Every structure is written in structure tokens, then in C-alpha cells.
Amino acid sequence: MKPPPPNALVNKVLALTLLLLVFAGSLGLGAVWVRQEIFQTANRSRALRTQLAEIERRLDEMNAEVASALNPAALMRLNETMRLGLVSPREMQVVRVAGSPELRLAAKRSREAFTLATATGEFSFRVVNASYIR
């Protein structure tokens, strides 16, 4: 048996060193790529937060405009400028409803679903969003 040539060990060491460098380089490129993705995601998140703040600001402005337009004094002023001849409702024309409007609407939906099912003879039940029922 012949012993391996002395440069065979050097070739294996060089090959393993080259493989280690390629592996370390790919890990480095992967780390750079992950950092770049994190940076891009942070920028998109920041842009969305800015856009959301702008939309909330505009929504607050619209709510303020609606509130000022529905102000009774503003409505009376518009009534006078447009000469509509409208009058404020008297107290006997105002109906005050006791209880929660959400519960009343949920009960109404349930009644409508049940009466529709009994009228058609079809007794299938559907789930109504009851997240607002306490």
C-alpha cells in the first residue's frame, strides 16, 4: 500500500477553507438581506402610521363639520336664510325611547329572521352578530 501524497492533505484543507468562506459569505449576505427587509418593513409601517394619522385627522375634521352643521342653532340659521318656514318640533312630537337601541335592533332582527323562516316553512337559523349584546 502506498501512502497518500503529502499535498493531498493540503488540498483537503484548502477545499474545506474555501467551503467555510463560501458558507460564511452566504450567512453574511443572508444577514444583510434580512436587515434590508426589516428596514423596508419599518419604512412601510412608518408610512402607514403617517397615512393613518392623516386619515384620522381628516375624519375628526369631518365629524366636527357634521356636528357644527347639525347644531340646532345652525339649522335654525339655515332655515331663516333659505326661508323654508320650518319650526322646531314641540315636546309632544318628540318620542323618547327607553332602553338600548342595540338590543332593540338585535331583537328586531331576530323577530324578522324567525317570522321569515316560519312564513316560508324553512327553519334554518343564521347567526347574527351579537358582539354588542351585553
Mean pLDDT of 8-19: 86
> Which carries the bigger pLDDT value, residue 109 or residue 116?
109
Given a contact cutoff of 8 angstroms between Cβ atoms, the answer to whether 117 and 110 are in contact is no
Is 0.75 surpassed by the pTM of this model?
A: no
User: How far is residue 130's CA from residue 9's CA, in Å, rounded to a whole number?
Assistant: 76
Share of the chain above pLDDT 70, in %: 83
**Mean of pLDDT over the chain:** 84
pLDDT attached to residue 40: 96
Express each pLDDT in 21-76 by its tens digit: 999 999 999 999 999 999 999 999 999 999 999 999 999 999 999 988 888 888 88
User: How far is residue 123's CA from residue 113's CA, in Å, rounded to a whole number?
Assistant: 10
pLDDT attached to residue 21: 94
* DSSP per-residue codes, 47-92: HHHHHHHHHHHHHHHHHHHHHHHT-HHHHHHHHHHHT----PPPGG
Nearest Cα neighbor of 124 from 134, 113, 133 is 113
pLDDT attached to residue 134: 45
Most confident of 6-10, 48-52, 121-125: 48-52
B/e letters for 77-102, b = 16+ CB within 10 Å, e = fewer, are: eeeeeeeeeeeeeeeeeeeeeeeeee
